[in-house]
Chains A and B, each alone.
Chain A
Amino acid sequence: MAANPKAVHNSIKPGKWVRSTCKMCLHSCTNLIHVTDDGVINKVEGDPTNPSNRGKLCPKGNSAIMRHYDPNRFKQPLKRTNPEKGPNVDPMWEPISWDEAFDIVAGKLKEALEDDPRRIVPSIEDFQKMGVWNWPLAFGCGNFFQSGGTMCGGAYHPVNGYVHSAFAGANDAKYCNFWLNDGTGDGFSSHLHAAAQSAWVAEARSERGMKCVTVEPRLSISAAKSEQWIPIKPATDRQFALSLCHVLVNENWCDFKFLRKDTNAPYLVSDDGYFVKNSEGKIYVWDTVANQPKLWDDPTIGKLALEGHYTVEGKACRPAFQRFKDILEDCSPEVMEPLTTIPAKTVRELAKRFYDESGIAQDLKIEIDGRILPLRPAAYNYYRGAQGHKLGFQTNHAFKMVNFLIGSIDTPGGHMGVTLDDQWVDNSHVAMGENGMLHPTPHQLGPLPPFAWPPTTFHLINYFPVGVHPPHLNMVVFEDPEKYGVDFKPDTMVVCHSNPIWAMQGPREKWFEYMRSFKFIVVVDIIPTETTQWADVIMPSNDVFESWNMTMIEPPHTEGMCMRQPVTEPLYDTKSEEDIFNELSERLGILDAYNEVQNMVLGFHHKPELKLQPGTRYTDKEIAERRGKLWNDKDLDWYIEHGHSVTERRLDKWYRPWEGMRLHFYIEDMVTLRDDLKAKMEAHNVPFRHEWAFDDYQPLPTARLDPVHEEPPEYDLYGMFYKDVQLNFGESLSNPWIQDIVYRDPVHIALMLNPATAEKKGLKPMDIVKVESPYGMIYGRIGVSQGWQPDTLGVSNALSRTKGKLGGVKHAGGHFNDLLPYDLENTDGVTGQPETVCKVKITKLNDWPQFLKDGGSVYDMIDELSEPGKGRTHH
């Protein structure tokens, strides 16, 4: 682009463009940063050479400059001088040198480490720097206190690991013609690479006429852009999916060829839930031609039975498909209608639509790269809201089952496994497992602490064999450590780019108590947050324009590496995360172990010449260069010139990478792992074993109600929360540009009700209310919209910040997550996924509580933006 000395538009002022990568969410759109001849960063645009985001950026990506120049940034290391800690208590920061900061922090960590590493609680959440995230492994620490597990995909990732051997899932925008979104913004407003996926999906909608249907309690952006919005009562999505499956199975609208050839649906399962095996451990199937049992790999098999009841090796058994059909018997749309509030007719029409669009009847095929592949251009897509429930594993599995039945898994037009990061270009994420089945990889973020009694971790992950860390269970143990056999007391916390005190579920007051119990807290971060207020020492890190990195995070249609490079010298006395954790590691005597952790986590062992060597510290630049070389053997100069190595995903890895293996329609591991956990708990007399949720372990999804539906009847509405693209993933509410769009949007400025519900309760728009659940309470102001399922109260994430000295953040009347349970009763026994919907009751108040009258609240800002002449943008 040209430089014009008289230009008033920022992008054409004299200066240079630097290639880099966005970090306004965890994903990794590449961008072009314009820096003026005077060294001011004045424009960020998408990188048009990247086939992922194609020159586009979402509103968050467009707002990065305001993070960089935020006057509230930490400008040097800080030490607390006020010993009193609290959400509104000024820490009275005193600037200190880096030397002093390292002396204090390393001293405190060393003391804890030498006594008992379990005293240290990490809260390290930089998805773009997985090496840093995994730093605690260098001293064998399994504790965890960050919101990723709770509010991300606690059950989502393990189920993707079982079904696709991948981290995430997304529909194939290239060939899909009929796209159902359930409780997700994929392709419209959130989740995977929002700007990129919106571009791909808009192209599919506009140029190929792809049709979308959205199932959600609210008229989301996805719903507004769909041909049909199907409102659903919160926390009933699994029952809805099962009712769809009921129709598909009972009408024979299934891809039986796929189920027989590519899944374990024909494998015989005995009544105890295990596959029927011979003495060598080989699984039986039933051959309907020979009318006899055969081993799964017997070349003489005529036709595999999917249905029927048999006896093999003396055991009564059924094919896995028959077992699912039996479960579905009680799941008709008519049975589910009173629960989901979705008319049975709608479900039946939708099932027909799935069948018609899937191309099963015509057995559609497509040739891609010389391979003839089944074309199944219909798929069920879902994420956070739909699956974040107590029975999360079963819920995710139920959604996958729709795709299993119509044969649309990992095939053109279908529902695809999306890897987090392939690390090197020819890395395959799939492998053959036992008995012809795909090797399942439920632990997508690496191995977790194994069973132990007494527990080695404070949040009970030792008892969730396929779990993602359940951070909310820190509170369960904190309240009763004896019951859970915990004989240690965590008192030293290391936080890095993580804000659990904003995001953790359960009342804030409880978490304040938890934080008060820590003797020492160090926080590595850029700006003040709800959590930095509790720190004893702040170690400020460089921001995205001041540092190196190389990453790729779960892109739906592309792969490669995206480079971040410094556009400017650090504005302040800050350091890279690598320098901070290297120095701490050296002082703690764990540098060699940390380098080994990074070798493992970042995949350097694959190319031994890239391995980090003992005794050496590696900078962010050196790690970035190695990551790039690991991907495609290109050095940093190549990346500086090109910015990224992103290409469309290699089609042999994207479509049916598991060719010749069978997918886990039936997840026998649920039975195996349940019995294994039971036996271990029994053998160790684990005192809480009798209340453990073994029933949650189901090899096929069931219609069992989540306990949220059984809360006392006085809580007569379902509370749910939501984000759109301006709020997608981490913090952006301190950003003035984001504030200027979010707080003009009617769906983000009030607690939302359907007008009929409001009227029934005698509530009007702008009424001030108290919202209570059995677990907590928040305040807010009512808004109404026809776009809400009438049993639902919607609370935007824009109304979630808490009061404190948080720079530009505007506090609201409490966080929605205050209303959520943090107990084991509402936690998935399989994965640790907690319930994220709650039952609530609303009480009208005459006035705001005092803390919302002091000024500076989000509602003050909303009122200001609503004044005439303030350019309010919505009607």
Chain B
Amino acid sequence: MARWGMVFDLHRCIGCNACVIGCKQENSLPDGVLFTRTLSEEYGVYPTVNRVYIPTLCNHCEDAPCEKVCPSGATYTRDDGIVMVDSDKCIGCGSCAVACPYDQRNELKADLFKNGLFGEGELTPFEEQGYIRFTPGMVTKCDFCSGRVDEGLDPACVVTCPTDARIFGDLDDPDSKPSKLIREKGGRAPLPEKNTKPKVYYVNWTT
């Protein structure tokens, strides 16, 4: 059994947000809901100033705080390490959103499904075919495109990334691309002090 994880190469990332929209497409996300985001952080003082683009998504933590606090058992971890949300079980209490130190939980308010992406109170055929996967009110997140992964495909954000800044693979396989990068480039997990054991790492902090 694999243990899926992802590496973000900050040297490669150009902050283009193709991943963000690729994810919106793949997951039929309602307006303003983002399973992955690209942060940009400026540092320094003119003229020695720079900006780093930092992709983020659910870190699929080994000790996922969101799973621990979930009262309904909707949040669970698959054997391959992907942290999932069962839309049938989620009661929309939002505990997970409070518990997640990475701000990666999205509450799907009911009006999102009424107003639609164009805000005109009418859903496009794209939304009609996609929103059935969600229960209004649920608090959801990235699932590493688990359905694609089960078919042997990479997540949608990974395949579209123009610069190959997102590298997906089996962290238990020492020869996988992410394992090698983490080992060779000193991959760092986000907010280690939270002891969540993320399965997402960053390499090339200095761009």
Contact = CB atoms under 8 A, between A and B. Distances in A.
A56 B161 contact: yes
Q: How large is the interface on B (under 10, 10 to 19, 20 to 34, 35 or more residues)?
A: 35 or more
B15 interface: yes
Contacts of A56: 18, 159-162
Contacts of A654: none
Contact of B18 (A59, A740, A790, A873): A59
Contacts of A62: 18, 21-22, 24-25, 160
Contacts of A615: none
Interface string A344-373: 000000000000000000000000000000
A481 B128 CA distance: 55
B1 interface: no
Interface string A69-107: 111100000000000000000000000000000000000
Contacts of B53: 221, 224
B46 A202 contact: no
A36 interface: yes
A36 B40 contact: no
Contacts of A40: 125-126, 128-129
A195 B145 contact: no
Contacts of A53: 162
B29 to A, nearest CB: 9
A741 B17 contact: yes
| Majority secondary structure, B binding face | mixed
Interface in A169-220: 188-189, 194-196, 198-199, 202-203, 205-206, 219
Given A70-B118, A746-B40, A873-B39, A787 B49 contact: yes
Nearest to B18: A59
Interface in B18-47: 18, 20-22, 24-28, 31-34, 37-42, 44-47
Contact of A57 (B22, B24, B32, B49): B22
B51 interface: yes
B111 interface: no
A202 B204 CA distance: 13
Contacts of A756: 46
A528 interface: no
Nearest to B28: A10
A870 B103 CA distance: 11
Contact of B163 (A4, A8, A202): A202
Contacts of A38: 129
A40 B28 CA distance: 13
A811 to B, nearest CB: 15
A736 B16 contact: no
Given A10-B26, A194-B162, A871-B106, A72 B118 contact: yes
A875 interface: yes
Contacts of B39: 873-875
B164 interface: yes
A171 B76 CA distance: 49
A69 B162 contact: no
A221 B15 contact: yes
B9 A206 contact: yes
A4 B148 CA distance: 10
Interface stretch (A41-49, A239-247, A387-395, A682-690): A41-49
B81 interface: no
Interface in B159-179: 159-165
A785 interface: yes
Contacts of A807: 118
A644 to B, nearest CB: 18
Interface string A725-757: 110000000001110110001110000001010
A64 to B, nearest CB: 9
Nearest to B133: A8
Contacts of A189: 14, 16
A224 B43 CA distance: 11
Contacts of A12: 147-148, 151, 153
Interface string A321-340: 00000000000000000000
Contact of B42 (A43, A46, A206, A219): A219
B12 interface: yes
B42 A787 contact: yes
Contact of B147 (A8, A724, A790): A8
B91 interface: no
Nearest to B45: A786
Interface string B100-142: 0001001000000000011110101110111001000000000
Contact of A790 (B33, B46, B124): B46
A224 B52 contact: yes
8 contacts: A2-B151, A10-B27, A38-B129, A62-B21, A202-B164, A737-B25, A790-B46, A871-B33
Given A4-B150, A198-B14, 10 more contacts: A8-B27, A12-B148, A12-B153, A40-B128, A57-B22, A198-B162, A202-B12, A725-B14, A754-B46, A787-B51
Sort A-B residue pairs by CB-CB distance and give the 3 closest, nearest first.
Answer: A202-B163, A69-B124, A8-B133
Interface of B: 9, 11-12, 14-18, 20-22, 24-28, 31-34, 37-42, 44-47, 49-53, 103, 106, 117-120, 122, 124-126, 128-130, 133, 145-148, 150-151, 153, 156, 159-165, 207
